[in-house]
Structures are given as structure tokens and as C-alpha cells.
Amino acid sequence: MDIQRINIVQGEFYVSGDENVAISTLLGSCVAACINDPVAQVGGMNHFLLPGREANSPMAARHGVHLMELLINGLLKLGAARGRLEAKLFGGARTMNVLSDYGAQNAKFAEEFLRREGIAITGGSMGGETGRRIQFWPTNGRVRQKLVRAVDDAQRVQPLPMPASGGELELF
């Protein structure tokens, strides 16, 4: 059985009822909600950049309020029942030392949104200072998380200089 891997990025969501689909994303301060209906065997994931409470914002497509609504409505269209939805939340890390902790704001928004909607939060991993790679199987709600550590400038791999001969590079 070949698994079809669907990768989503900021501002995207994906829903499926196909047992051969796995949805993945890479998170830092962003949050992904993995929501499924275990009876209907459908689920989906979103990936949002900021909570966003204004629908008229130029970045509304990347805001949590917009993407949470799209995800839930997408699941209902596939046959999910609102009362059976279960959510797992990931991300919300503080990946940079800046004045605002965007990760904490995203995490708080996601939790409050799901509670207001009556959707049970059954698991997840939020906060900290580490990024996460998430893989979600929407039909059964299984999630795999891999922590991703930041790389110091001293540890970064330096790019190789381009060869002088017309820009060709041979890899072996």
C-alpha cells in the first residue's frame, strides 16, 4: 500500500477520507490543527501563521480563524459530524527572542476556538522553543511528531562555490 503524502504550508488546509493519505507540515511558531471524525473516518489539517480576528485583513488566508473554519467545513462536507470531531494541536513554539510570543498567541487562539466550537482536544504538543515536523493520518487520527532543532550560524553548511565553467556542477 503506497501512502500519498500531502505537504501543506502556511495558509493551507487539506481534508481527506482516504486511508492511503498522510498530511504533513513543518511548524515553528505557527500552529496546525489535526482534526478527525473517528466514526466517519475523515480528517484534515491546517497550518496558520497568526490567530487573526479580522476577516478583512490582507493576510486573512493565513489566519487561524479563517483556516479553522475552512477545515471544519471541509470535514462536514465529507460526512463528519461536529459532535464527534476530535482535535490534536501542534506548534506554537517560541522560535525567536522577540517582544511578542507569536507561538503562545497562536496556541491560545487554537485552544479557545476549539473550546468555543465544542470540539474536544484529545492531544498534541505546543509551546517550547523547538520546531516540529508533523505527519497526520486523517482517517484514524494518528499523528507522528519529530522535533526540529534550530541550527546555529556556526553549524550551518557553507554553500560550495560555483564552478567557473559555465555554471555546471557534476554530482556523483
**Is 91:105 a contact under the CB 8 Å cutoff?**
no
DSSP string, 71-108: HHHHHHHTT--GGG-EEEEEE----S--SS-HHHHHHH
Give the pLDDT of residue 95.
79
Give the pLDDT of residue 99.
61
The yes-or-no verdict on residue 163 having pLDDT over 70 is no
Give the pLDDT of residue 62.
53
pLDDT digits (tens, 9 = 90+) for 60-118: 445 778 899 999 999 999 999 999 999 999 999 997 776 678 899 999 999 999 999 99
Give the pLDDT of residue 15.
98
Average pLDDT over the chain reads 85
CATH number of 4-148: 3.30.1330.200
Give the pLDDT of residue 170.
43
Give the pLDDT of residue 151.
57
**Is 90:133 a contact under the CB 8 Å cutoff?**
no
| Number of C-beta neighbours around residue 160 at 10 A | 7
Query: Comparing C-alpha atoms, which of 34, 9, 39 is closest to residue 21?
Result: 34
Surface-to-core class of residue 77, CB atoms within 10 Å of its CB (0-12 exposed, 13-18 middle, 19+ buried): exposed
Secondary element (H or E) of residue 156: none
**Is 44:75 a contact under the CB 8 Å cutoff?**
yes
Please state the pTM of the whole predicted model.
Answer: 0.81
Give the pLDDT of residue 10.
92
- Give the pairing type, strands 21-27 and 4-7: parallel
The yes-or-no verdict on residue 160 having pLDDT over 90 is no
